Homo-oligomer: A and B are copies of this chain.
Amino acid sequence: MLITELAERSATPAATIKYYVREGLLPAGERVGGNRTLYGEEHERRLRLIRAMLEVGKLSIASVKSILAVLDEPGAPIAHTFDVAQQALSRSAVPDVADPTPEALARVDAVAARAGWADCDDNIGREIAARVIDAFAGAGYPLPDDYLDRYAAAARIHAEADLGAVAVLPDPSRMTELMVIGTVLGDTLSLGLRRMAQAVVTEERRRSS
């Protein structure tokens, strides 16, 4: 298809598409005589992925570029691709605070152990969770273990849903792509539904009190 059609199908201005090509986010189209350049369905899909990361994930152009580079590594096992993408996608979420205390890391490890989770030492989520535990304590509201365990139970529900959605896809490149999109978008979905549930539970408790 020509750039005008790609622009229309992806609801992205042609100038923006050209910008993504210049920045190396989108592969160039195929030049076919004169001034015509042809784009394929893989361009359309890549474009949707880029926009999801920029607009919903609120990632920088540089972060999107590094994630796409990983996605495009030929022959990389899915688990590796996912791991690198997870790190890149999570970096902007790491709270701007001092390194987590050993106590907070130990508490995250204890939560993982109670949940039966193995091998989380190198996971970026461990550090993020530990910093949150420190921040709650610093604000004068230390979190009880029970609270952390409930959040871990919810996280497992998320992960089972995420991996379940990935498992039904027909090919590995689509699987990795959904993992990346799902990591970005799923956080926001969780945030939205948590807001709704908080209001619902607040109202239920008010009525029953």
Q: Contact residues of A with B, CB < 8 Å? A: 11, 45, 48-49, 51-52, 54-56, 58, 79, 82-83, 86, 90, 93, 95-97, 111-112, 117-120, 123-133, 135-136, 138-141, 143-144, 146-148, 150-165, 167, 177-178, 181-183, 185-203, 205-206
Contact = CB atoms under 8 A, between A and B. Distances in A.
Contact of A201 (B151, B153, B159, B190): B159
A58 B131 CA distance: 13
How would you classify the secondary structure of chain A's contact residues: helix, strand, loop or mixed?
helix
Contacts of A164: 146-147
Q: How many monomers of this protein are in the complex?
A: 2
A9 to B, nearest CB: 11
A50 to B, nearest CB: 10
Contacts of A195: 86, 90, 123-125, 128, 183
A33 B139 CA distance: 31
A201 B163 contact: yes
B151 A189 contact: yes
